[in-house]
């Protein structure tokens, strides 16, 4: 600001000097040229000329100077304000242009909130999970296919070995025994050779299962005789030697079938025959002399050599037991 004032003052001084010099030159040119006149004669006869600068011109020049000063002083400010206003205008135009471009761009393109949005993250996560499940299922199918091929090869090799090789043998069920029948006579497995037999293990104090199974056995041997003409010897072996005496066994077997043979023996003899036929038995809760015996519920079909052929479980009824026995005997006779 001080620099601008100093410059304006310098300009004013220069302007005054120029104005004074011009006024002086005009004054000199207005005096008529004359012969040399004594200085004494000229002095009193000098005409009065109006001043070149009229009265009030100084004030007018001062007013002009003031206006010049004010204009020159305001000019930098205006110049400073004009760039700011121009910059504001440019910025507004830029904002308007950018806004128009952004609005036009927003109409053509979706506004992106950032480099990774929630939607893209969820899509990426879903894609990753899908790839994991796909490769997991592919791996499982590959493993299952490999196992299936391996099992098929094993079955094929086993079938070839069965066809080409010898017989696989028989189950290790059955064997020698030495027991007492319901008539008090000692009998062994040899006494039953020559006929087909169905052997069942139980005890005479059984409340429900043993009676049901013995009734089914008695009905089946009658139907087998009737349908196929085959005589089957039904055999009942007690697993409760402490209570199943010869007399108790005789009374018990006569309640089911006249051909039913009852066998009993000492605890060691019963243990030996049960082990030979793979039969499980065990006493349960004991209260005085009243207890139950948990045991296997199985009927064993034995051929005329007292060798094991097939077993029949509790799920077989009279008809299925009858048909199963006839089928096995028919196959063995061929």
Q: What angle do CA 279, 280, 285 make, to 5 degrees?
A: 145
Question: With 0-12 CB in 10 A as exposed, 13-18 as middle and 19+ as buried, what is 236?
Answer: buried
CB 297 within 8 A of CB 209: yes
What percent of the chain has a predicted confidence (pLDDT) above 70? 56
More confident: 71 or 248:
248
Residue numbering of the annotated binding site: 206, 210, 295
pLDDT for the residue numbered 36: 42
- pLDDT tens digits for range 298-309: 999 999 999 999
pLDDT for the residue numbered 161: 46
Domain ranges for the chain, please list them. 188-292+301-333
- How far apart CA 158 and CA 107 sit, in angstroms, is 74
User: What is the arithmetic mean of pLDDT over 248-259?
Assistant: 95
Average pLDDT over all residues of the chain: 74
Closest C-alpha among 197, 166, 170 to residue 305: 197
- Residue 100, pLDDT > 50, answer no
- pLDDT tens digits for range 273-296: 999 999 999 988 766 667 899 999
Residue numbering of the annotated binding site for Cu cation: 206, 210, 295
Confidence bin at 53 (pLDDT 50/70/90): very low
Fold assignment, 188-292+301-333: Glutaredoxin (3.40.30)
User: What is the arithmetic mean of pLDDT over 60-85?
Assistant: 45
């Amino acid at each position: 600001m001080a620099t601008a004032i100093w410059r304006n003052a310098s300009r004013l001084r220069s302007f005054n000097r120029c104005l004074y010099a011009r006024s002086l030159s005009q004054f000199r040119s207005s005096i008529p040229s004359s012969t040399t006149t004594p200085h004494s004669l000229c002095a009193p006869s000098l005409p009065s000329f109006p001043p070149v600068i009229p009265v009030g011109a100084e004030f007018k020049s001062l007013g002009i100077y003031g206006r010049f000063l004010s204009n020159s002083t305001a000019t930098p400010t205006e110049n400073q304000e004009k760039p700011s206003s121009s910059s504001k205008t440019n910025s507004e135009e830029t904002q308007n242009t950018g806004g128009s471009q952004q609005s036009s761009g927003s109409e053509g393109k979706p506004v992106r909130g950032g480099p990774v949005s929630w939607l893209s993250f969820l899509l990426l996560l879903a894609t990753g999970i899908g790839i994991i499940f796909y490769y997991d299922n592919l791996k499982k199918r590959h493993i299952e296919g490999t196992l299936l091929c391996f099992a098929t090869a094993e079955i094929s090799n086993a079938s070839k070995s069965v066809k080409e090789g010898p017989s696989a043998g028989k189950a290790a069920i059955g064997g020698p025994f030495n027991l007492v029948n319901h008539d008090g006579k000692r009998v062994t497995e040899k006494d039953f050779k020559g006929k087909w037999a169905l052997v069942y293990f139980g005890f005479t104090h059984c409340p429900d299962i043993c009676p049901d199974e013995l009734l089914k056995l008695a009905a089946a041997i009658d139907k087998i005789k009737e349908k196929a003409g085959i005589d089957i010897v039904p055999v009942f072996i007690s697993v409760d030697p402490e209570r199943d005496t010869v007399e108790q066994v005789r009374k018990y077997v006569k309640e089911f079938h006249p051909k039913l043979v009852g066998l009993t023996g000492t605890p060691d003899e019963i243990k030996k025959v049960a082990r030979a036929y793979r039969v499980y038995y065990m006493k349960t809760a004991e209260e005085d002399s009243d207890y139950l015996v948990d045991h296997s519920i199985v009927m064993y079909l034995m051929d005329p050599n007292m060798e094991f052929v097939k077993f029949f479980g509790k799920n077989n009824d009279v008809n299925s037991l009858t048909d199963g026995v006839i089928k096995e005997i028919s196959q063995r006779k061929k």
